[in-house]
Each structure stands twice: as structure tokens, then as C-alpha cells.
Chain A
Amino acid sequence: MTRIGLVVNPVAGLGGRVGLGGTDGPDRARVALSLGACPLAGARAAAALGELAARTGESARDGLLVVTAAGPLGADSVAAAGLAGRVVYAAGTGRDTSAADTAAAVRAVVAEGIDLLVFAGGDGTARDVLGALGDAPCPVLGVPTGVKMHSAVFAVSPRAAGEVAAAWLARTGGVRLRDAEVMDRDEDALGEGRVTSRLFGWLPVPDVPVRVQQRKTGSTATAPDAVGGIAAEVAERVGDGLLVLGPGSTTRAVAAALGADVSLTGVDALALRPGRPPRVVARDVGEEALLALGPAWIALSPIGGQGFLLGRGNQQISPRVLRAAGGREHLLVLCTEAKLAALGGRPLLLDTGDDALDAELSGHLPVITGRRRTSLYRLAM
């Protein structure tokens, strides 16, 4: 029996068409509905499930169970797609659903034991899912129904979500899990008049690479290969020394390749010793603890798509920490070639809050993309 979980945030995306932006908070949803907005999350979730069903063979479909929440939180979409469902959570009747419902539904669904959690919503929903799953996330895939969606946990369309889910459940096409960023608009920054997004963590997402890439046999370096190369290069550069690792899927993968388990979203420090496994000397620490470590190399990876290198989710690596490390000379930027190219020529962004330091770090810097491989890439404020 294959089980997938489905949790729909029925109000996600309500504000988009009526010009409200996001629908975070129950008031916004009510306003949107009063302005004539139509719920669309349920239909998009159903489209994703429909695609999944179409791509799943008849016998496999018979063994497929969708574990979900009642009514618009999932069961309606399961019924619309004609799949077998089991309801394990119900919101109170006659009231608006809220973030708490999303979290409770996720917990109830996951408790049943599932192969993949599909959720329909936007960045706020992704954050709720992240929070509900805690430190032991199951494979997750977002059906995009929100307004902004900075997170990387979403398929490109509902049908693509169905396609990816089918591939993951059938374990075909070389699907593997990839840690994808959960991002949301930074409300604090918004209060200060800046529109930026913030990194909240990662969720494991089935990654279906562009199939053309797979077809060209034995030629394309896969991301894990690149990470191994980056790790070897970092080890050689640091030698017998201290390495501070910023958050990011690349830095985490590099730490894993070096043999160290580091925190999910925090800043960690490793003592590297040639020929021996590294030792974690600091885990998820703040600015003061980093300053207390003494001279260190600092390894950072940019946020995919956005290109932020400093000032988003890694504020612990403060201007004081960067200056103590010696600035540019001890900054190791780690990134795969594909992720760099995906920026389409836009620079890696610096926002440490210290303009003088940002200016000092600006300009072309070697980005480590593999073993004995760098790309010279522009950093800008």
C-alpha cells in the first residue's frame, strides 16, 4: 500500500487576483472573499492528484491511499480526483481554517505513516508545514497555489507536482531527495520598508531533474559529484584549521561529504584535520560564540534563485565576525555551477548591515564550484 498525505490550505492564494498580495492571517482571507476572490487551492490540489492518478498504473492506483484532512483541507480534492482517501483530521465546523489547522492536519497525516506529503498553498503554508514536521521531516512536495512563493519546495505547476509525485512514488527516473529552501517574506524588513524574503529552513523534496539532462548519458556531472569536489577543495584550502559553515543546502551537503553532521539552519564550526574526520566544535551558535572561536575560514553558499550571500538567515556571521576572519581572504563561497548560472548574470548579494564591509567584499570573487574549479563571480551590495 502506497500512502501519500495531502493537506490543502484552502485560503492560499485568495488575495492574488483581488490585488491583496498574500493571505496571511484570517482577516486577509475574509477581506479577499468579500472582494469576490474565489478559492482555487482545492482545485489545484485536485489537478495535481489527477495527474498523479493518470501517471500511476491501474494496479498501483488501487493500492494508493491519500491520507488527508476533512473537507476543503484535503478530502474535497481527493474526491474530485477520484482517489481513495482517509480523513484523519477535521477542523471545527463553521469557522475559518488557520495556520494551526494546517499544522495539526500535517501532524495527524504524518502520524499515519506516509511516503510523501503533498501540500497545497504558498510560502506561509510551507512555513507551517516546516514547523509542524520539526526535526524529522518526511519527503514533501508543494502544489503552488499561493501568491508569491519564494520557497523552492514547490513544483512548477499542479500538473508538474503530480508528475513529480508519481515519479517519486514509483521510484523511477532517478528521483532523489534534495533539501529545498522554505522562504517567506520578511515581515520585519517589510516594517522597515524593505521587501526581502527570509530563509526559514529546508524540507526534503523529490527532485526530478530536467529529463533531457538524464538522457545525455554519462556526461553531466550530477550535483552530488559537484558537492564532493567542493568538499575536497574546501578541505585542501582550510588544511589544519577552523571552518565556520553558514546555513544552506550546499554547505550542509559539503559538511556531510567531509563527514560532519551540522545543524539544519544554524551556523556551525568544524575543526578540520587533514586525513581525519572533522570535529564539530560549535553547533547552531550566535555571533559571540563565533567571535570566541578565534581565526577561522568562513564558508557560505548563496540562496538559490535570489543570490543572497550575506544578510539573509546567516546574520550570526556578522560584520564583526567577518572582519575578525580577515574579510575576503578567508571567505569561501561554495556553489554549484548550475546554481550560479541560474542567477542569469545577477550578482551575489551582500547585506551585512555594514556598508563599508559590503563595499570591501564587493567585486569579483572566486566561487568554489568543484575540485580545482572556481568561477569568478561578482558580489555586490
Chain B
Amino acid sequence: MTAPHAPVSVSPEEARIAGKPRLRRFRQASWDEKLIFELGSPGERGVLVPTADPSIGKPTIPDALRRTDPPALPEMSQQQVLRHYLRLSQENLGADLNIDVGQGTCTMKYSPKVNDQFVRDLRIAALHPLQDEDTVQGVLGIIHSLEQLLKEISGMDRVSLQPGAGSAAIYTNVAMIRAYFTARGELEQRDEVITTIFSHPSNAACAKTAGFKVITLHPDADGYPDIEALKAAVGPRTAALLITNPEDTGIYNPRIEEFVRIVHEAGGLCSYDQANANGILGITRARDAGFDLCHFNLHKTFSTPHACGGPAAGACAVTEELAPYLPRPTVEFDPETGVYRLDDERPESVGKMRPFYGVVPNLVRAYAWIMSLGAEGLRAAAETAVLNNNYLLHKVRQIPGVSVPYAAGRPRVEQVRYSWEKLHQDTGLHSEDIGLRAADFGTHYWTSHHPYVVPEPMTLEPTESYTRADLDEYAAILAEIAREAYEDPETVRTAPHRSTIHRVRPEALDDPAVWAVSWRAYRRKVLGEAGRP
């Protein structure tokens, strides 16, 4: 193994003269931090939990559900906890410290900190989902207002914020399509859903989960979804078209209205996956292209935290015709009394997609983000995202070893799926190697690009969050790594060199016999201690 590559570092003045962005002298903190379960000592304590006010009465948890032993939590002071997590945060490439345009299709734009202040407000933080409606009027008002905003943004007639994000929202839309055809007695006949290979793969997965057969369209010779294939695919069996536009390659389908018309003429519905709406906010609307349903990912487009098993939120928007099938409860407003209420009595509803009425903290963040920008601001955000993306495209395209598959020479919307195939053929290095080397420059490069059909893929989605200088720096880092790949591939192959942790064995992540997702599993599988399975 060769010595770690020395970071290139020039002064800002030199950089200005050279016209080249500075490559940061980055080195990740290494704290040799123990797991929190190994910290603390018996008897130590951070907070004194007050006993409940006697007026609240005794808790009514059944005996069968009560613990017999106290939970095995680490005992430690508040400051120790704070230190522990601050240290851990320095051993990560957190979004607040790096340029993470390489997250791939999972947009990670900047979420304004002030929006988190709203969420920490006790009126939101202490909310309980089982509270009476008359005690949550303010929250229901926010949800109702957010629905109105999303109606405006999509052009649709009704919105539900009850489903979770991404796949949960897409599944909700598929469930509504199924309910619609069931009500019309056509479900047995209409058992096919059409999608495209570069639509978000959740479309195909959700359609199959809901019992439909899936027909996938590939790009035509120009790289756009093949309209001739669509014509050959539609027929009396067509239930719906589920399509992302722009697709995950960043390519916008310029014939989307024709796609919708062809499917409608065959009697099918059209559902617009707007996972990639960040570049079209205030510019195009699902309804204007003729769609019957659409969804948004509040966690991406509207600047709330990403899912990854966490509390992300989705929004389903439909035409009046499909409104009866929306999940329940819906939030209703009586303008005469000024009262909001939850409507659970919806006989044609597809039911609950998750408990209660939505992920309130993220609905509040999304609401705050939209309200702070206004209509003009949303459009400016979209335009900036598109400009940023095409600026980065222009720079990355010039890096040796990179290609931009499909729709050659055309601009993209807000992301691009690049390919390092040439660099891989020339050097044997993989996209992942480049990503791990990028960590040495303090930047994030994970990249998610389902389906994995573009060889050695790299999906960059800069969003509106990044400045021109950020994008210059990111492109310069990629260019530097490409140069290294050709001149000194060993440095790239053995990266990262300046991270806390060297390479993770990927196979362990796929092996249930090895992975440890809890302290108990760690003790059993890694330390070899006997214990409850």
C-alpha cells in the first residue's frame, strides 16, 4: 500500500489566481469513543424523573405488559451523554459539515434551522396523537393549510398528509387506483400497471405489492421513455401508468402529456411520482399534464429530514373523482364554526396507511418552509436547483472517465445519473472506490441509483442549497480523484485514509448472522456472550 496521498492545499489567494477551487485539508476526528453502553457507572444519573402528579392517577398499564426488571440503560451524567454524541457527530460526514450532493436520488437539501425551533415548541413536541380534536385545533389547522398549499402546487383537488413518505405514499396511490377500479367493477380486467425503467423503483414495487402485474418501458434510442413501447403496452388490461418525471436519470419526458393521453384513452389512470419535484416546483403541475394522482416527498422536496427508517412524511394529491378513496382520517374544516375535525367515517377510503393523522413534526417543517418562501420563492428554489445541476453537469462532464448516459447532450432537471464505466475499464476502480476517496476530502458520496442498470453509477443532485463555490469544490474533488485514479490508483483503491473508520466490510451488512443492530445483538454476535436470542 502506498502512503496516503498528501492533500493538495493552496491559499485562497493562490486558488483565486489559479482559478481553481481549494481542496480542503480534511482529517476526520477520531475519538476512540466507546459505545454508550460501555460508558457510565451504576448509580450515576443525568436527570431526576419527577413522580407523576397524584391528580393524574395511577397509570393503567396492564400487569402483563409491565417489565419485571428495570431496563438495562447506561447510567451516566447529562454532560457525558452530550460529549458522547458530539464526538460521534464528528466521526461522521454529517450534512451540516460537508457538501453532500452525492447522496444520489435521496435529495438532502439544507433544512433551515429555524424550522426545527418550531418543532421543538412544546405545543408540537408534547402533542399526543390521542388528544381530543378540540385540543389540537392549531395542528389540524396547520395540516389543513399545508394541504391547501400542496393543492395549489400540484393543481389537484384533494390532498392527504396521512401516509408516510416515498413508498408509503406511492402505495397509497396504487391502493386508491385499485379501489377506484374495484368500485367500477373493472379490477379483474385491469390488472396491469405500466412504469418506466428509470422511474423511482418504488412504483413497480408498490404496484406489485398491490397485486398488479408490472410492465416496464425502456428508453428509446434518444434516451427518453419509449412512447412506441407505451402504445404497445396499453390496452383493456391497463389499470394505470406510474411514472416519475423527471426520471431518476434527471431526464424530463417532454411528451408526458401524450403519455397521459394514451393511457387515458385506454381507460387507465395516471399517477405522477414526484419524488423529483424539486426542480419543477412552481414550473409544472401534475394536474396540468392531465394526471389523476400524484405524491410529494415532504422529506426531500420540502426540506424535512429524510426517511431512512425515520419519521418522513408524504403527501398524496388526487382529483375530485378519486377523493373518496383517500386514506382516513381526513382533516375537515367547517368555515362557519371555524372548527377542524378528523373524519374517520369514509366508507370508500383505502383505510389507514399509518397510525393517526400524519408525521406532525415534518408537516410543520414543510409548512414553515413553504410559508417562508412563498410562491415566488418555491419557483426560485426550483430554478436554482436546475441551474446548480446543469452547472455541475457542465463541470463533471469534463472529467476524464465520466460519461452521461442517455439523451446525449441534453440538459437535465435537478439530478444526473453519471457513469464511471470508462474509468472502471481503464483503471479497474469502482464508483464506490471514488466515493470512499471523496470522504478523504470531507465530502459525502454515497449515491443511491436504483435500478442498478447504469454501469458504475454516480448520481449527483445538488439542489438549491449549494453555492457556486461549493459546486466548484465538489467538481474539483471529483476531478482530483479521477486524476489519481489514472496516475496513482492505489491511493484511491485503499481509501479512505483520513477517516475515523477504514472500509466497512460490505458483506457483513448483508449477513444477519453478523450484523448487530442492538447492544444485546452486539454482545451476543460480536463479543460472543450467551444471552437471550
| A→B interface (CB under 8 Å) | 51, 155-157, 159-160, 163, 172-174, 210-220, 337-338, 340-342, 344-346, 363-364, 366, 369, 372-378
Alpha-carbon separation in the docked complex, A24 to B480 (Å):
42
Q: Is the CB of A373 within 8 A of B430?
A: no
Q: Give 1 or 0 for each of B217-235: 1 = CB within 8 Å of chain A CB.
A: 1111101001011101100
Please name 6 pairs of A and B residues whose Cβ atoms are closer than 8 Å in the assembled complex, sorted by A.
A163-B428, A345-B406, A346-B221, A364-B226, A373-B204, A377-B218
State which of A172, A173, A375 has its C-beta within 8 Å of the C-beta of B218. A375
Alpha-carbon separation in the docked complex, A307 to B507 (Å):
32
Q: With A211-B432, A363-B232 in contact, do A341 and B218 touch (Cβ < 8 Å)?
A: yes
Q: Is the CB of A172 within 8 A of B216?
A: no
Alpha-carbon separation in the docked complex, A214 to B450 (Å):
12
State which of A156, A174, A342, A376 has its C-beta within 8 Å of the C-beta of B232. A376
A157 contact set on B, CB distance < 8 A:
425-428
Q: Is the CB of A345 within 8 A of B217?
A: no
State which of B212, B214, B220, B456 has its C-beta within 8 Å of the C-beta of A210. B456
Alpha-carbon separation in the docked complex, A366 to B432 (Å):
34
Nearest B residue to A371, CB-CB: B208
Q: Give 1 or 0 for each of B443-462: 1 = CB within 8 Å of chain A CB.
A: 00001111111111100000
B447 contact set on A, CB distance < 8 A:
212
Q: Any chain A CB within 8 A of the CB of B294?
A: no
Interface of A: prevailing SS: mixed
A213 contact set on B, CB distance < 8 A:
452
Smallest beta-carbon distance B376→chain A, Å: 38
Q: Known contacts A155-B428, A156-B424; can you find 9 more A-B pairs with CB under 8 A?
A: A218-B510, A220-B451, A341-B454, A344-B405, A345-B218, A373-B208, A373-B216, A375-B197, A378-B226
State which of A156, A172, A212, A337 has its C-beta within 8 Å of the C-beta of B453. A337
Q: Which of B275-332 contact A (CB under 8 A)?
A: none
Q: Is the CB of B218 within 8 A of A212?
A: no
Q: Is the CB of A345 within 8 A of B452?
A: no
Smallest beta-carbon distance B205→chain A, Å: 10
Alpha-carbon separation in the docked complex, A341 to B219 (Å):
9
B215 contact set on A, CB distance < 8 A:
366, 374-376
Q: Is the CB of B216 within 8 A of A345?
A: no
Alpha-carbon separation in the docked complex, A373 to B455 (Å):
22
Alpha-carbon separation in the docked complex, A156 to B424 (Å):
8
Q: Is the CB of A372 within 8 A of B218?
A: no
Q: Any chain A CB within 8 A of the CB of B491?
A: no
Alpha-carbon separation in the docked complex, A130 to B227 (Å):
43
B218 contact set on A, CB distance < 8 A:
340-341, 345, 375-377
Q: Any chain A CB within 8 A of the CB of B125?
A: no
Q: Which of B446-491 contact A (CB under 8 A)?
A: 447-457, 489
Q: Is the CB of A220 within 8 A of B428?
A: no
B433 contact set on A, CB distance < 8 A:
211
Q: Is the CB of A341 within 8 A of B451?
A: yes
Smallest beta-carbon distance A256→chain B, Å: 23
Q: With A369-B216, A378-B228 in contact, do A342 and B428 touch (Cβ < 8 Å)?
A: no
Name, among B223, B230, B430, the residue most crowded by chain A CB atoms within 10 Å (CB to CB).
B430
Alpha-carbon separation in the docked complex, A220 to B451 (Å):
8
Nearest A residue to B104, CB-CB: A216
Nearest B residue to A376, CB-CB: B229
A218 contact set on B, CB distance < 8 A:
510
Q: Is the CB of A172 within 8 A of B426?
A: no
Smallest beta-carbon distance B17→chain A, Å: 37
Q: Any chain A CB within 8 A of the CB of B431?
A: yes
Q: Is the CB of A212 within 8 A of B507?
A: no
Nearest A residue to B493, CB-CB: A163
Q: Any chain A CB within 8 A of the CB of B54?
A: no
Alpha-carbon separation in the docked complex, A373 to B214 (Å):
5
B489 contact set on A, CB distance < 8 A:
159
Q: Any chain A CB within 8 A of the CB of B506?
A: yes
Name, among A214, A341, A342, the residue most crowded by chain B CB atoms within 10 Å (CB to CB).
A341
Q: Is the CB of A337 within 8 A of B197?
A: yes
Q: Is the CB of B213 within 8 A of A374?
A: yes
Q: With A210-B456, A212-B452, A338-B453 in contact, do A376 and B428 touch (Cβ < 8 Å)?
A: no
Q: Is the CB of A211 within 8 A of B430?
A: yes
State which of A155, A163, A211, A340 has its C-beta within 8 Å of the C-beta of B506. A211
Name, among A216, A342, A373, the residue most crowded by chain B CB atoms within 10 Å (CB to CB).
A216
Q: With A212-B431, A215-B432 in contact, do A174 and B451 touch (Cβ < 8 Å)?
A: no
B29 contact set on A, CB distance < 8 A:
none
A366 contact set on B, CB distance < 8 A:
215
Nearest A residue to B509, CB-CB: A217
Q: With A156-B428, A213-B452 in contact, do A345 and B223 touch (Cβ < 8 Å)?
A: yes
Alpha-carbon separation in the docked complex, A85 to B455 (Å):
36
Q: Is the CB of B425 within 8 A of A214?
A: no
Alpha-carbon separation in the docked complex, A374 to B207 (Å):
13
A337 contact set on B, CB distance < 8 A:
197, 216, 451, 453
Smallest beta-carbon distance A2→chain B, Å: 20
B450 contact set on A, CB distance < 8 A:
216, 219-220
Alpha-carbon separation in the docked complex, A195 to B454 (Å):
28
Q: Is the CB of B510 within 8 A of A174?
A: yes
A374 contact set on B, CB distance < 8 A:
213-216
Alpha-carbon separation in the docked complex, A41 to B435 (Å):
32
Nearest B residue to A217, CB-CB: B509
A220 contact set on B, CB distance < 8 A:
450-452
A345 contact set on B, CB distance < 8 A:
218-221, 223, 406
Alpha-carbon separation in the docked complex, A341 to B248 (Å):
14
Alpha-carbon separation in the docked complex, A338 to B450 (Å):
11
State which of B216, B435, B510 has its C-beta within 8 Å of the C-beta of A375. B216
Alpha-carbon separation in the docked complex, A214 to B431 (Å):
12
Q: Is the CB of A217 within 8 A of B425?
A: no
Smallest beta-carbon distance A214→chain B, Å: 5
Smallest beta-carbon distance A172→chain B, Å: 7
Nearest A residue to B504, CB-CB: A215
Alpha-carbon separation in the docked complex, A340 to B217 (Å):
11
Smallest beta-carbon distance A40→chain B, Å: 16
Q: Is the CB of B405 within 8 A of A173?
A: no
Nearest A residue to B204, CB-CB: A373
Q: Is the CB of B197 within 8 A of A210?
A: no
B223 contact set on A, CB distance < 8 A:
345
Q: Is the CB of B233 within 8 A of A216?
A: no
Nearest A residue to B448, CB-CB: A216
Alpha-carbon separation in the docked complex, A213 to B454 (Å):
11
Nearest A residue to B194, CB-CB: A376
Smallest beta-carbon distance A143→chain B, Å: 12
Smallest beta-carbon distance B227→chain A, Å: 11
A219 contact set on B, CB distance < 8 A:
450
Alpha-carbon separation in the docked complex, A159 to B454 (Å):
22
Q: Is the CB of A364 within 8 A of B510?
A: no
Q: Is the CB of B213 within 8 A of A159?
A: no
Smallest beta-carbon distance A254→chain B, Å: 19
Q: With A160-B428, A377-B218 in contact, do A210 and B452 touch (Cβ < 8 Å)?
A: yes
Alpha-carbon separation in the docked complex, A113 to B80 (Å):
59
Nearest B residue to A158, CB-CB: B428
Alpha-carbon separation in the docked complex, A206 to B405 (Å):
27
Q: Is the CB of A210 within 8 A of B431?
A: yes
Alpha-carbon separation in the docked complex, A375 to B424 (Å):
28
Alpha-carbon separation in the docked complex, A211 to B215 (Å):
28
Q: Is the CB of A338 within 8 A of B452?
A: yes
B452 contact set on A, CB distance < 8 A:
210, 212-213, 216, 220, 338
Q: Is the CB of B232 within 8 A of A364?
A: yes
Q: Give 1 or 0 for each of B184-220: 1 = CB within 8 Å of chain A CB.
A: 0000000000000100000010001000111111111
